[in-house]
Amino acid sequence: MVDYHAANQAYQYGPNSGGGNGAGGGGSMGDYMAQEDDWDRDLLLDPAWEKQQRKTFTAWCNSHLRKAGTQIENIDEDFRDGLKLMLLLEVISGERLPKPERGKMRVHKINNVNKALDFIASKGVKLVSIGAEEIVDGNAKMTLGMIWTIILRFAIQDISVEETSAKEGLLLWCQRKTAPYKNVNVQNFHISWKDGLAFNALIRRHRPELIEYDKLRKDDPVTNLNNAFEVAEKYLDIPKMLDAEDIVNTARPDEKAIMTYVSSFYHAFSGAQKAETAANRICKVLAVNQENEHLMEDYERLASDLLEWIRRTIPWLEDRVPQKTIQEMQQKLEDFRDYRRVHKPPKVQEKCQLEINFNTLQTKLRLSNRPAFMPSEGRMVSDINNGWQHLEQAEKGYEEWLLNEIRRLERLDHLAEKFRQKASIHEAWTDGKEAMLKQRDYETATLSDIKALIRKHEAFESDLAAHQDRVEQIAAIAQELNELDYYDSHNVNTRCQKICDQWDNLGSLTHSRREALEKTEKQLETIDQLHLEYAKRAAPFNNWMESAMEDLQDMFIVHTIEEIEGLISAHDQFKSTLPDADREREAILAIHKEAQRIAESNHIKLSGSNPYTTVTPQIINSKWEKVQQLVPKRDHALLEEQSKQQSNEHLRRQFASQANMVGPWIQTKMEEIGRISIEMNGTLEDQLSHLKQYERSIVDYKPSLDLLEQQHQLIQEALIFDNKHTNYTMEHIRVGWEQLLTTIARTINEVENQILTRDAKGISQEQMQEFRASFNHFDKDHGGALGPEEFKACLISLGYDVENDRQGDAEFNRIMSVVDPNHSGLVTFQAFIDFMSRETTDTDTADQVIASFKVLAGDKNFITAEELRRELPPDQAEYCIARMAPYQGPDAAPGALDYKSFSTALYGESDL
């Protein structure tokens, strides 16, 4: 105990009985005092300001001295002996000063004041031009300056708001607390407080039941100030340090007086300030969590939509049930092309964006010290990739199958038409043959007639044998249609069976008639040799003409210029045989004429037409004329097809020219992007800008790809199935383009995540370049990842002690468990910079959040919904209430919530 009874009444107090700030070791006030110019040492105080300072400083000192049972009346007189000055310092610091001297002589007073000044100096305060003699002599200017220095050191210096301190921190605190109130704009510690509204707003903000702010008027400052001062003294234990009239009647109130008074409000509400700080920390943590949850919900929704689209699309691509007609299959082909051009590209972008969102979310979770995001079952990135691979597998070969089916149906239509044509020709030939073979005309015929009938039957048999090939062709075509699953096979088989049955019947009837004719042949001797020769030569010639007409009318399908040129060559060869055929025709007609001439010359009356054949000269001439007409038509058809194939060849060359330009361009851009991702040219922003320039150049190149798509569309519509002029197919180009877009987007996202990590972790550009240089130096294969030995060498180069001993191996294994938690054996650059940033920076922790909640809860182990709604913004308060479990501790109260388990769950340390 220290006795200060020398000039005042005796009293005793302990070092911990006083209030105040308890400044402890204190910080340096030298710099602050050097910057402060609040009181001039070379000029006299303004009389109004001096009055305000005397009143304010006296009230401030008494607010502390009353805790020791004393007070002062005159600030420049009552501190002259140093006793109450030393007492004031003990009360506000909570520390014991040296024992004062009891004497009343000047030297004793100076020694006591020096002890007080030495104590102030020990707290890091430079007392410029303030000496004990001035205080002992009652120098008002110096005394007020000393008290202001004490107020700065013990009441204002430790005020901190958002890393500002002292005067700036106190001003920022006032601005924030009074911001919601109209007519209040705190910009300083003098004019801003004259109307009294700022004082009332401070009280209203912390104790709303004490002030009816809406009833205050800006034009009544005296009432406003008195209201605030009286409420503060009565309910907040803040003594009245100023008079309202002094403030109102002064052009510029004293800044030190206002600042001292306002600091008392700050300390009165320090508990609320701690709660606000805690609430701000919690709001910050909750905002991060809410944003991350929003990103998670977006990912889940986008992943579900994409997987649902894949689920719906795969069965459609796997449906390989062929249609019956070319038109139906062409419609399926057009639907597939729409899918490739219209429906799939946006989904490729969605898949890429989903991966980018996922990587960005994981980066944000790492930066905020949160557990990694684990999507719900079936919606992992790997599930989406598996689904996409299934889609690509289902899509693979679908277009080729459609085109093969169209070619098959085209061939089927061609075969079916060919079947109908040959069947019609055969049926026309067989018309009436059964009736002819069933005739019994030989029973009443003469010998010559019988011989004629025999010869005629022989000619028919020759004709029948000639038609055997056609019947076999008809049966073969029908069989091929069956094997190719022609949709109208039933009618084809029925017609073919009818033809075969009829053919068998004709054979049986022919055999029966021949036997009948041969029975009477011995009785018949006369025969017209010329008619016989005519018949024998006319029949094959007639068959040749029929075959020629059939060939000239035959349909053809070709796919290359070489095939059509082969047909043209064959047709030219056929035309070269026409002169010989014409000579044969003339020779056959000459035989007929010779028979007529002989009959006429011998006065033989012929019964009519040639008895050995039905092929008359008129028929031969008619068919010959038909052949002559069909030849130029065949020429025209072949020339048209030749023009078509030349056009197709042009389309092939046009597509190949564009594809041979686009394909290498895509490959070049892929290689350039790979080089950019491993080189260190400039800052991350430079790399990002460079990559985005590449992205723009890629997007600008899209018209070249669209042109190629248009050319490919023309090729498909022309049913061109091969192209020898290029090794690039449209499928290769599409895959390369999609890979290029995905690669540039992923590379940009990686750089953006590096920037995000750098900025969030406070990594300098030089550090980031050092990390990249070290990583690239040991990434020998430029694969974007380091093996364990490469990574160990990289760490050693950065100063880590991971040499091959027990301690170094343990440290290396610890680091590997951080950068490679899945034990893949590879360390990516993103994992590397995450590790390096965690080694050098700090983030908020679960313990910090728990401590903040404890402040809001008034040091309880639980918190109530009412407290959360009072201290936090509405959306974040409801967020906490919805997720906090009921508190189960022994001290639980009704409605108690467990903020500890909630806080640890935010960081993945336990489950709610």
Count Cβ atoms within 10 A of the Cβ of residue 776 and give its class: 0-12 exposed, 13-18 middle, 19 or more buried.
Answer: middle
What is the spatial distance between Cα 309 and Cα 720, in angstroms, rounded to a whole number? 32
Q: Is residue 520 part of a domain?
A: yes
Asked whether residue 403 is domain-assigned, the answer is yes
Given a cut of 50, the residues of the chain with pLDDT beneath it are 1-44, 523-527, 604, 911-912
Collapse the DSSP code of 464 into the 3-class scheme (helix H, G, I; strand E, B; otherwise coil) and give the result.
Answer: helix
Decide if 647 is inside a domain: no
pLDDT for 411:
77
The answer as to whether 192 is a domain residue is no
Let me know whether 781 and 852 are in one domain: no
pLDDT at site 196: 92
* Residue pair 225/253 in contact by the 8 Å Cβ criterion: no
Interatomic CA distance for residues 423 and 555, integer angstroms: 15
> Two tokens at 561?
């210029």
> Which has the closest alpha carbon to 307: 357, 361, 359, 350?
350
Distance CA 810, CA 796 (A): 14
Closest CA to 492 of 557, 418, 404: 418
Q: Is residue 231 part of a domain?
A: no
Q: Which of 347, 378, 411 is the last residue of a domain?
A: 411
3-state secondary structure (DSSP) of residue 93: helix
pLDDT at 34 (0 to 100): 35
Identify whether residues 466 and 599 lie together within a single domain. Answer: yes
Same domain for 812 and 792, yes or no, is: yes
Say if 802 falls within a structural domain: yes
Query: Which residues, including other chains, have CB under 8 Å from residue 658's CB and lie 6 or more apart?
Result: 704, 707, 708, 711
Q: Which residue has the tokens 């204002």?
A: 156
Domain span at residue 608 reads: 432-615
> Do 404 and 482 reside in the same domain of the chain?
no
Q: For residue 573, how far is the Cα from the chain centroid?
A: 65
Q: Is 827 helix (H, G, I), strand (E, B) or coil?
A: strand
| Residue 271 domain flag | no
Is residue 796 located within the same domain as residue 866?
Answer: no
Q: Are 572 and 682 found together in one domain?
A: no
Q: How many separate domains does the chain show?
A: 4
Question: Are 497 and 609 members of one domain?
Answer: yes
In a domain, 676, yes or no: yes
Residue 902: which CATH number?
1.10.238.10
123-127 contacts at long range (C-beta below 8 A, 24 or more positions apart) = 123/23, 123/25, 123/26, 123/29, 123/93, 123/153, 124/26, 124/27, 124/28, 124/29, 124/30, 124/153, 125/26, 125/29, 125/30, 125/33, 125/149, 125/152, 125/153, 126/29, 126/30, 126/33, 126/34
Domain shared by 611 and 667, yes or no:
no
Helix/strand/coil (H, E, C) string of 47-83? HHHHHHHHHHHHHHHHHHHHHHCCCCCCCCCCCCCCH
Whether 292 and 405 map to the same domain: the answer is yes
Residue carrying structure tokens 């004990």: 132
